């Protein structure tokens, strides 16, 4: 990829400015016309990981420029879990600030119970 962009390779053979490129693409996607009333936009970047490695260079770059992540492992999907969300490592920077009080009370406990169940099931 860096050779196609005529740049020197850096970390994991990606261009040295790959972090800038990711954030620039996300910011550019949200530039809305002042002539049309501006506003806001929700972006849902999707990153495929190799063997579920969310700590690889590209996934961590994308995660750091967004407000969180939803991790959808294929093993949960193949086990019949629907939606196949790993609640243990899925996070949101918005968290409960966007929820009503009743939802906060239920969701917090439910997420903890799901994470504990998944951890026990792994043993």
Answer yes or no: are the C-beta atoms of 57 and 11 closer than 8 Å. Answer: yes
* Contact by Cβ (8 Å): 32, 39: yes
Q: Read out DSSP for 58-116?
A: HHHHHHHHSSEE----HHHHHTT-SS---TTT-EESSGGGGS-HHHHHHHHHHHHHHHH
| Active site (catalytic) residues | 93
Q: How is residue 67 written in tokens? A: 């407000």
How open is the CA angle 113-116-118, to the nearest 5 degrees?
110
């Amino acid at each position: 990829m860096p050779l196609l962009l005529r740049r020197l390779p850096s970390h994991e053979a990606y261009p040295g400015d790959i972090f800038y490129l990711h954030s620039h693409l996300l910011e550019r996607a949200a530039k809305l016309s002042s002539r049309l009333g501006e506003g806001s936009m929700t972006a849902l970047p999707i990153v495929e990981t190799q063997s579920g490695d969310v700590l690889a260079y590209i996934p961590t770059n994308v995660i750091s420029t967004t407000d969180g992540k939803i991790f959808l492992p294929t093993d949960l999907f193949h086990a019949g879990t629907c939606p196949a969300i790993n609640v243990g490592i899925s996070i949101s920077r918005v968290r409960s600030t966007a929820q009503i009080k009743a939802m906060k009370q239920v969701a917090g406990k439910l997420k903890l119970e799901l994470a504990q169940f998944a951890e026990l099931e792994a043993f």
